[in-house]
Amino acid sequence: MRRGYRRREALVGLSFVWIWIAGFLIFTCYPLVRTLMFSFSDVRVTAEGIKTAYIGWENYRKALFLDVEFGDTVAGYFAETLVIVPIIVVFAFIVALLLNVKLPGRGVFRTIYFLPVVITSGPVIKQLMDQGAATLPGIQDMLAAGRLYETMPEFAADLITFLLGSFITILWFSGVQILIFLAGLQKLDPAIYEAASIDGASRWESFWKLTLPSMNAMIVVNIVYTVIMQSVFALNPVIGLIQDAMYDPRHGLGYAAALAWIYFLVMLAIMGILLLAARPRMSNR
């Protein structure tokens, strides 16, 4: 009797998700496997169809050891993302703490912080960048970028210049993260803070011992979301290189597929590094 009931429950559940499962297998899983096969082949699009010839690791060797532009672009993406993601997550957490305080009109403030997520897209961001609206006014004059390159390595100077020049753009990408943190903060039981206050804990101690450990799951979710969001953004230069390689007769789809898989592995490495950096806090919970 119980087995039959559980089977019916499982069938009801599958009836709701089978469309998603079928869509994932057809439109996500199959293209991934197909792209992986292309990355080990020389792919040519002809009038008779797609012609493939297996060449092993040749596409990966060219991408890693011969394509200097791709290597430099991926290295820049790697360093920038490692710095940008913590900035976005920390900023979103601070804003969520402020917006969680009971104050008049806080719904309006929440809408203001989330509004850029609705109105900004690739073309909109590009227009704002072209008009100089994505940088702090006068930051280049205050920064004296020339001195940075004289006093530190070029790689570090490029990273600092990028961060300060794109600071407003970075903050635009924090809307969803703020909502995720807000959802976590609103689930915290006020009785816990009352009990901590009775035991003599200050607000600062309550934050480090109660609030922050309770938000570990949200921090992990936001790290993963932010890395993916930054990696698939339309203006990402690595994506531009992959798209150019697709239509370049010297390379073709096979080489572009290899670039895409290398990019995917680099993205996973960034995610792993950031999650490992957050692990000490999670293990101390």
Find the helix or strand (DSSP H, E) in which 240 lies: helix 237-246
Task: Measure the CA–CA gap between 121 and 130, rounded to whole angstroms.
Answer: 14
- The reported pTM is 0.77
Q: Which residues contact 196 (CB under 8 A, 6 or more apart)?
A: 205, 206, 209, 210
Kindly report, residue by residue over 140-186, the tens digit of the pLDDT: 555 555 555 566 666 666 666 666 666 666 667 788 888 889 888 88
Strand partners, 46: 49
**pLDDT (tens digit per residue) in 46-67:** 777 778 888 889 999 999 888 8
Confidence at residue 140, expressed as pLDDT on a 0 to 100 scale? 53
What was the pLDDT predicted at 121? 56
User: For residues 143 and 129, is the Cβ–Cβ distance under 8 A?
Assistant: no
Q: Convert the pLDDT of each residue in 6-28 to its tens digit.
A: 888 888 888 888 898 999 999 98
What confidence score (pLDDT) does residue 109 get? 66
pLDDT at site 283: 46
pLDDT at 282 over 60: no
Contact between 173 and 90 (Cβ < 8 Å): no
Amino acid 149: pLDDT: 58
Query: What is the share, in percent, of the chain residues with pLDDT greater than 90?
Result: 15
Give domain 62-283's CATH superfamily. MetI-like (1.10.3720.10)
Confidence class of residue 264 from pLDDT cuts 50, 70 and 90? Answer: very high
Residue type, 96: A
What pLDDT does 285 receive?
46
Domain positions in the chain are: 2-39, 62-283
Residue 268 is predicted with a pLDDT of 92
Q: Are 118 and 179 in contact (CB under 8 A)?
A: no
Task: Provide the strand spans (E) within the chain.
Answer: 41-46, 49-54
Q: What are 67-78's pLDDT values in tens digits?
A: 888 888 898 888
Residues 223-240: what's their mean pLDDT?
85
Residue 238 has pLDDT above 50, yes or no: yes
Percent of the chain exceeding pLDDT 70 equals 73
Nearest of 174, 277, 259, 166 to residue 222 by alpha carbon: 174
What average pLDDT does the chain have? 79
